[in-house]
Amino acid sequence: MLSMTRRSFAMATTAAAALGVLAGCGEGKPSPEALAAETAKLNAWLEDRFKFWVGRSPISKAYLGIKEDMGKWDDISEAHQQEDYELTQKDLADLKANFKPEKLDDAGQLSFRLFDARLTQEIANFKWRHHDYPINQMFGWQSEMPSFMININRVANKDEALSYIERLNGVPVLFDQIIDGLKLRDGMGVLPPKFVFEHVIRDSRNVIKGKPFDGDKDSALLEDIRGKIAKLDIPDAEKAALTADAEKALLTSVKPAYEKLIGVLEDQAKRATTDDGVWKLPDGEAYYQHMLKLHTTTTMTAQEIHEFGLKDVARIHGEIQEIMKKVDFKGDLKAFFKFMLDDPQFYYPQTPEGKAAYVTKAQEVINAMTAKLDEAFLTKPKAALTVKPVEPFREASAGMAFYQPPGAFDGRPGTYYVNTYDMKALGTYELEALAYHEGIPGHHMQITIAQELKDVPSFRKFGNNYTAYTEGWGLYAERLAKDMGFYQDPYSDFGRLSMELWRACRLVVDTGIHAPQYKWTREQVIKYLTDNTPNSEFDIVNSAERYIVMPGQATAYKVGMEKILALREDAKAKLGDKFNLGEYHDVVLKAGALPLTVLEERVAGWVKSKAA
């Protein structure tokens, strides 16, 4: 598989046969009217199940912009998870008992397959639910709680302010459930590596710094609720009373909850080891293969992915050497990397003005791309996109850049977050590619176009649970910008290649960390990334630690990009003058997120119909 050309890569079978049943044809096939009627029944059932599952999650409602249960948190207890598992099994049984693919039209067959696949995956995931690290430096309620309150929990009136305060008072129950899960995993021998605890304990303490906890400056949460209350059209006396209630909730509910969590984390840190890979966990090898299959939607083994990564790193190094010739650089590849890392011309200053300038430039790049979208897209997103810096309370351990989807029902824009904590990690040569990946034509287009689809079941509009598709599209978007004439500065084109190189290195280091035949340490990962990429020390360390706590996720980017690019090139070869790039992108984007196999089938069907 690793030695395949892009075209042959496109035609490879890449996911489990479980996704497979399609309707047959021939005698006795239902009429178009009967197919449409049965599909309408399926869609109504799927919509009912979507509403049911969203109804079990106040947090999901908030992200979607549905203003219900605004004072509640999700129930993440063991009992609730067991109940979810049993309900998922029932949904799968009901789907298969009540609907048959051969009685559905093409759109209905696809929805059937995708819901079947999703339920089957969730049932398979349940076995491994205690193999994760629910508190780590990349995600977890210790940082998600304040981030959610600040960025998602909106306050438009007095009742919503009261709900905000109710949520603050509900933090102890939420954190008790987290602690129960941490202790259960501890008993199983599932603890994150030692370095994780320093990060999460620090981040947890940061949340309870400032007023009303200590000092004179408002904490992030008090600043947020104070600001939201100040904007309400209510008497000043009511504003003062609400703010006082919020301060009380922070002191009597939020602070004790964090202190209790910190105590548990400090205790577990004493037993944590420096073993970094999930090979150390019970049945760790099988768990890692499960995670690779989950994230890539392929059956590629760890060794295949590792070797693919090594070859791709070598290829990209060669393309970077061509850039070096263009800019007349004298020296070897490592010297060029050092030049790009050290030369101040490639960085904004580590000042408030420098940070603001980067964010402004990123918005300008996105605006320029938006103006040219008609060259490559028939369908564009309606929801707005904004660029924001990562908040100070989480910037020390958050990723370099990430995307928050828009609120589908409340008008909240999509947000491209840039982490300006260390401006040396944000080379201007990568600014373009990063903005294209996270914003337009990357995640914002893919996710928002899916949310805005008509006549498609909601679970497909909001189901970005195929990492190879979503992150593959983001990486493909970086390359697409090159095809559209961007990256006119050779250094910016180097930035594109350096980001693709980074994703190729991820194939090597993720498998290196977690596969039992390699057992790489954190230090080995840092050395490999230092030797083979131009990234900063902060970025390398931050990323190495990310791959350790998120096994398999980092492998999806290149696998997905290769598929989307290979399918495009294969379609161009087969269709010749009939190939239309905008139509191809519609085929890729206008069904929502897909397993790579299903995407391959959709493109093949489009090619066949165009060629006829």
Note the pLDDT tens digit of each residue in 71-123.
Answer: 999 999 999 999 999 999 999 999 999 999 999 999 999 999 999 999 999 99
**Pairing verdict, β 414-418 and 385-389:** parallel
Q: What is the pLDDT of residues 183-205, one digit of tens each?
A: 999 999 999 999 999 999 999 99
Average pLDDT of the segment spanning 591-595:
94
What are the pLDDT digits (tens) for 5-38? 333 323 333 333 334 433 334 457 899 999 999 9
Q: How far apart are CA 340 and CA 325, in angstroms?
A: 15
Task: Please give the helix or strand (H or E) that residue 385 lies within, else none.
Answer: strand 385-389
DSSP assignment of 447-490: HHHHHT-SSS-HHHHS----HHHHHHHHHHHHHHHHHTT---SH
pLDDT of residue 11: 31
Q: Which of 560, 299, 297 is nearest to 443 (CA)?
A: 560
pLDDT tens digits, one per residue of 334-366: 999 999 999 999 999 999 999 999 999 999 999
DSSP state at residue 612: -
The CA distances from residue 171 to 145, 168, 247, 257, 596, in Å, are 8, 5, 14, 7, 39
Q: Would the pLDDT of 322 be above 70?
A: yes
Q: Are 131 and 279 in contact (CB under 8 A)?
A: no
HSE-up (13 A, CA, CB side) for residue 253: 18
pLDDT tens-digit series, residues 246-263: 999 999 999 999 999 999
Whether 218 and 393 have beta carbons less than 8 Å apart is answered as: no
Please give the single-letter amino acid code of residue 571: A
CA distances, 330 to each of 279, 321, 324, 336 (Å): 43, 11, 8, 8
15 CB burial (10 A radius; 0-12, 13-18, 19+): buried
Confidence of residue 393 (pLDDT cuts 50, 70, 90): confident
Quick one: pLDDT at residue 95? 98
**In the prediction, which pLDDT does 521 show?**
95
Upstream peptide bond of 441 is cis (omega within 30 degrees of 0): yes
Selected residue with higher pLDDT from 395 and 266: 266
pLDDT at 25: 41
Neighbour-count burial of 406, counting CB atoms closer than 10 A to its CB (0-12 exposed, 13-18 middle, 19+ buried): buried
Q: How far is CA 94 from the centre of its chain?
A: 30
pLDDT at residue number 10: 35
List b or e across 40-62, with b for residues whose CB sees 16 or more CB atoms inside 10 angstroms: eebbebbeebbeebbeebbbebb
Full DSSP string of 41-110: HHHHHHHHHHHHHHHT-HHHHHHHT--SSTT-----SHHHHHHHHHHHHHHHHHHHHH--GGGS-HHHHH
